[in-house]
Amino acid sequence: MKKIALNAIPEPWEYNPSKWSQRLRISAVAAIAVFIAIYMGLYQWRLIGSVWDPIFGDQSMKVLDSDVSHKISSWVRIPDSILGALAYLGDIIFALAGSTRRWHDRPWLVILFGLDVIPLGFVSAILIFMQGFVVGSWCFLCLVTAVISLILIVLAYDEVWSSVLFLWRVWKRSRKFSVLWDTFWGKANPIAHEVGLEMAKRRDWRS
Amino acid sequence: MWARIVEFMLAAWLSVSPFIFRYPDDRFFFWANDLVCSILIAFFSLICYYRPLRKMHLCNLLIAFWLIALGYIFRGDPLDVALQNYVTFGLLLLMVAIVPTDSEKPPMSWRDFYEKDEL
């Protein structure tokens, strides 16, 4: 039986979306957002007296002290900036976990990573871009983190797509929920092996 | 194994939290909670180095849920700093505790699947 190489290139890409360089790049971008979010969280915790904003000045503090922000903080029990920092930290944690074949071996991890990056990223970006209309003020650093969220989506969607495609083909081949379930949780089975091999093989002979 | 090391470091943070946030001496529950939870987190992270128990880190998910729940159960308590620490810590622990031991390698099931074939 032929093994699927650890650096196999899955469809539909010309590169391995689970390779380390790809995931370290995501981690580095997310780390910038973590630092910015913690900085704003320190203000909301009143550990620092003000927030730097080269464009909108005091408006940043109005956003961070707004009723919307206080309401979110009362729901989640911590400042909303710290919640954002944890979400970006989650991007780093889930980006660093797993082998370079995780699109095939641990689809659950890739899907979890995708859920943290894609829907959460979209929601946070939309909320931040709406702040000017809801709160009536703008926050430069919040906008920077919103742009980072969108960049992360662009950087991360390829791996998620490969995993979803892999699971879809396993389902199409087996038509058994138990096989799909096992594959999702990284339990080896011949059908997942066959499908993974086909997804990687087509790339092999093209290159 | 990096996730287990991070868990151990988080346990160290929780164990010194009563001193950092200066819990009053009469808040015995909070002192005891931080001490017991930190010992359990450290135990569950270290025991994973013994291969048959490599999935024990999942027990830390229960501790993470417990700490987050405390943030809501004691809502309005004067020791709010401790509660915010619990929620922040719990959310972070939740994400780290879900990462498998030996996560940089393929899962044991796939490794066995290919090794069996080579024999």
Q: Which pLDDT does position A195 carry in this prediction?
A: 93
Tell me the average pLDDT of chain A: 90
- Cβ-in-10-Å burial (0-12, 13-18, 19+) of B75 comes to exposed
Contacts of B96 in chain A (CB under 8 A): 93
Q: Which pLDDT does position A205 carry in this prediction?
A: 44
CA distances (Å), origin A22, targets A29, A151, B80:
11, 13, 40
Instruction: Answer yes or no: is A195 within a domain.
Output: no
Asked whether the beta carbons of A37 and A81 are under 8 A apart, the reply is: yes
The pLDDT > 90 percentage for chain B reads 78
Q: How far apart, in whole angstroms, are the C-alpha atoms of residue B62 and residue B51? A: 21
ipTM of the complex: 0.90
Is A98 in contact with B83 (Cβ distance < 8 A)? no
Give per-residue pLDDT as tens, B46-100. Answer: 999 998 999 999 999 999 999 999 999 998 888 899 999 999 999 999 999 999 9
Instruction: Answer yes or no: is A9 within a domain.
Output: no
CATH number at residue A153: 1.20.1440.130
**Residue of A42, A77, A116, A194 to mutate when probing chain B, most B C-beta within 10 A:** A77
Domain count, chain A: 1
Instruction: Answer yes or no: is A167 within a domain.
Output: no
Q: How far apart, in whole angstroms, are the C-alpha atoms of residue A193 and residue B12? A: 42
Q: Which pLDDT does position B94 carry in this prediction?
A: 96
Q: How far apart, in whole angstroms, are the C-alpha atoms of residue B99 and residue A180? A: 21
- Cβ-in-10-Å burial (0-12, 13-18, 19+) of A178 comes to exposed
Instruction: Answer yes or no: is A151 within a domain.
Output: yes
Contacts of A193 in chain B (CB under 8 A): 113
Instruction: Answer yes or no: is A178 within a domain.
Output: no
Structure tokens at A147: 């742009």
Give per-residue pLDDT as tens, A114-149. Answer: 999 999 888 888 888 788 788 888 999 999 999 999
DSSP A102-117: HHHH-HHHHHHHHHHH
Spatial CB neighbours of A193, under 8 Å, sequence gap ≥ 6: A1, A4, B113
Q: Is residue B118 over pLDDT 70?
A: no
Q: Which pLDDT does position A179 carry in this prediction?
A: 94
CA neighbor of B21 nearest in space, from B79, B65, B87, B98: B79
A91 CB-side CA count, 13 A: 32
The pLDDT > 70 percentage for chain A reads 97
Q: How far apart, in whole angstroms, are the C-alpha atoms of residue B42 and residue B65? A: 16
Full domain range(s) for residue A141: 20-157
Q: Is residue A207 over pLDDT 60?
A: no
